[in-house]
Amino acid sequence: MNNVLQFRPKCPHVESLANCREALEPLVMKILGEAIGKGYPPAEAAMVVADIADDYILMLSRQLTL
């Protein structure tokens, strides 16, 4: 899997993001593997995970504007 963090400009949060990705990526890959094992196509499983993450980001953004 490509590390998208290498393409981001250097900023104070890059190290934190890299550490977070290192911690979470194996868990997300496990979720995807389990979904694929249940018969869901890999791209569909990945899109659902991304959609869930996007919904969470939108929820957080709404909380910040209140």
The answer as to whether 27 is a domain residue is yes
The answer as to whether 21 is a domain residue is yes
**More confident site: 1 or 26:** 26
Provide the pLDDT confidence category of residue 57 given band limits of 50, 70 and 90: very high
Q: Which domain holds residue 56?
A: 14-64
The answer as to whether 60 is a domain residue is yes
In the chain, the number of structural domains is 1
For range 3-12, the mean pLDDT: 57
The answer as to whether 9 is a domain residue is no
Provide the pLDDT confidence category of residue 24 given band limits of 50, 70 and 90: very high
What confidence score (pLDDT) does residue 18 get?
86
The answer as to whether 22 is a domain residue is yes
The answer as to whether 6 is a domain residue is no
Which residues, in sequence order, are CB contacts of 42 under 8 Å at separation 6+?
32, 36
What confidence score (pLDDT) does residue 4 get?
53
The answer as to whether 4 is a domain residue is no
